[in-house]
């Protein structure tokens, strides 16, 4: 590639949390440039946001339909290579489908869609077009998550027996959706967020991380959801018992009413010989525990390269002791996607490390997780086969 990849953005205007995160992540490696956007359904916000990002007036659009139609009509050397969709959940499917139909690769904030059926339609369209799709399950981008995955799936701990993943937050401990908090308002609204609140928002991250590191798929689950804050329309707390392939069992806890917690995602996986422990708020550290010897501490960015996998090294950016966090993990997803897309444009083969990013299949698993959790919660039999 002798140029940067050209990105367009749908949603993510000023004051939108996740839009700014995507732009920071895409910019980390200087291989992507934002060239156009339909940044809000509010025309004034869309124009103001575009101006603040120095987008040209002729590539500032007021609807995603206008953007995709006009971008598709531009010469190949000018039009966007891919579109990033950072709208609320209910507005993921239509722009993603139209982007694929117009021949654009897609980056999409999770969840991939509003319903499982929409996710399946997107998979069919991806397969029909052969285009790339990145689903931003951020936590799979951390170097020590990559290291844990390689160790577990290489069988270093023997057969996996137990998976414990927890994701407590405290930011919805009050009814903030009625106090002017825009993020809380749409995330707790069934019409915009979907059939589940907490489990749809952060439980899906926990489930993805469990499957990603272990390499095992959930086969059955037993769920209980709660609305702890009076007046809220969707669950803000939940617990799920899990069964995985190959006989492993697990526990998943997600809560957004764990008062005092920030973003305390944590996972432990145990096999016959030992296991791993990783916490998102201390992301550069991976604890490796053994039955017959002392616990080891693996650190990202250190000099002992013989002990770290190529996947961990590929996704490390700074020397040891220089913390890499959420933005860098997000940036790793964009970098791997960009490397894969650049290889396709160049007619070369991307490395296995570059191909390691979440896509449409993970999106379908996430939507199926939501459906099955809600189904189990509402069932009198409780244990529910994980249907996709």
The pLDDT value recorded for residue 16 is 87
Residues 186 and 107 in one domain: no
Pick from 103, 131, 159: which residue ends a domain? Answer: 131
Residues 176 and 280 in one domain: yes
Residues 150 and 201 in one domain: yes
C-alpha 361/C-alpha 359 separation (Å) is: 6
The pLDDT value recorded for residue 124 is 98
Residues 117 and 167 in one domain: no
Residues 82 and 201 in one domain: no
Length in residues, the chain: 388
pTM: 0.96
Residues 33 and 120 in one domain: yes
Residues 50 and 105 in one domain: yes
Pick from 89, 112, 131: which residue ends a domain? Answer: 131
Residue 344 in domain? no
Q: Cβ neighbours of residue 356 under 8 Å, at least 6 residues apart?
A: 146, 311, 336
Residues 21 and 106 in one domain: yes
Residues 23 and 127 in one domain: yes
C-alpha 194/C-alpha 368 separation (Å) is: 13
Residue 333 in domain? no
Residue 88 in domain? yes
The pLDDT value recorded for residue 302 is 85
Q: Is 156 exposed, middle or buried (0-12, 13-18, 19+ CB in 10 A)?
A: middle
Q: What is the CATH number of the domain that holds 48?
A: 3.40.50.720
C-alpha 182/C-alpha 88 separation (Å) is: 11
pLDDT in tens, 369-384: 999 999 999 999 999 9
Residue 357 in domain? no
Range of the domain at 79: 5-131
Residues 161 and 310 in one domain: yes
Residues 158 and 277 in one domain: yes
Q: Residue 303 pLDDT > 80, yes or no? A: no
| Phi, psi (degrees; rounded to nearest 5) at 190 | -55, -30
pLDDT in tens, 227-255: 999 999 999 999 999 999 999 999 999 99
% the chain with pLDDT above 70: 100
The pLDDT value recorded for residue 304 is 78
Residue 353 in domain? no
C-alpha 377/C-alpha 116 separation (Å) is: 18
The pLDDT value recorded for residue 220 is 98
pLDDT in tens, 53-106: 999 999 999 999 999 999 999 999 999 999 999 999 999 999 999 999 999 999
The pLDDT value recorded for residue 307 is 85
Number of domains in the chain: 2
C-alpha 327/C-alpha 337 separation (Å) is: 15
Strands 5-10 and 32-38: parallel
Q: What is the DSSP letter of 325?
A: -
Q: Is 146 exposed, middle or buried (0-12, 13-18, 19+ CB in 10 A)?
A: buried
Task: Decide: 82 and 341 in contact? Cβ < 8 Å.
Answer: yes
The pLDDT value recorded for residue 15 is 81
Nearest one of 156, 321, 134, 163 to 246, comparing CA atoms: 163
Q: Residue 306 pLDDT > 80, yes or no? A: no
Q: What is the CATH number of the domain that holds 262?
A: 3.30.360.10
Token readout for 384 is 């529910």
Residues 147 and 103 in one domain: no
Residue 150 in domain? yes
């Amino acid at each position: 590639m002798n140029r940067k990849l050209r990105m367009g953005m749908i949603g993510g205007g000023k004051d939108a949390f996740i839009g700014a995160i995507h732009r920071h992540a895409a910019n980390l490696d200087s291989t992507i440039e934002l060239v156009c956007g339909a940044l809000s359904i509010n025309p004034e916000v869309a124009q103001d946001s575009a101006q603040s990002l120095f987008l040209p007036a002729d590539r500032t659009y007021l609807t995603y339909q206008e953007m995709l139609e006009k971008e598709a009509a531009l010469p190949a050397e000018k039009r966007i290579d891919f579109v990033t969709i950072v709208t609320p959940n209910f507005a993921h499917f239509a722009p993603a489908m139209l982007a694929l139909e117009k021949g654009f690769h897609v980056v999409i904030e999770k969840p991939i869609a509003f319903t499982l059926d929409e996710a399946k339609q997107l998979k069919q369209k991806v397969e029909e077009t052969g285009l790339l799709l990145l689903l931003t399950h951020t936590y799979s981008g951390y170097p020590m998550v990559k290291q844990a995955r390689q160790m577990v799936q290489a069988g270093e701990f023997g057969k996996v027996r137990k998976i414990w993943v927890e994701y407590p937050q405290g930011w919805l401990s009050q009814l903030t959706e009625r106090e002017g908090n825009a993020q809380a308002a749409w995330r707790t609204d069934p019409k915009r967020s979907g059939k589940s609140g907490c489990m749809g928002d952060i439980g899906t991250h926990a489930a993805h991380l469990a499957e990603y590191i272990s390499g095992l798929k959930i086969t059955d689950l037993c769920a209980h959801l709660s609305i702890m804050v009076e007046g809220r329309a969707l669950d803000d707390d939940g617990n799920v018992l899990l069964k995985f392939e190959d006989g492993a069992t697990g526990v998943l806890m997600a809560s957004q009413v764990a008062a005092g917690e920030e973003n305390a995602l944590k996972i432990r996986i145990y096999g016959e010989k030992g296991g791993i422990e990783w916490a998102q708020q201390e992301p550069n550290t991976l604890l490796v525990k053994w039955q017959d010897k002392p616990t080891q501490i693996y650190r990202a960015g250190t000099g002992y390269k013989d002990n770290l996998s190529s996947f961990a090294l590929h996704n490390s950016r700074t020397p040891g002791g220089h913390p890499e966090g959420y933005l860098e993990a997000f940036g790793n997803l964009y970098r791997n996607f960009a490397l894969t897309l650049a290889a396709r444009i160049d007619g070369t083969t991307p490395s296995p490390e570059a191909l390691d990013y979440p896509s449409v299949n993970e999106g379908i698993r996430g939507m199926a997780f939501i459906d099955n959790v809600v189904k189990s919660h509402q069932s009198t039999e409780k244990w529910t086969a994980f249907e996709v």
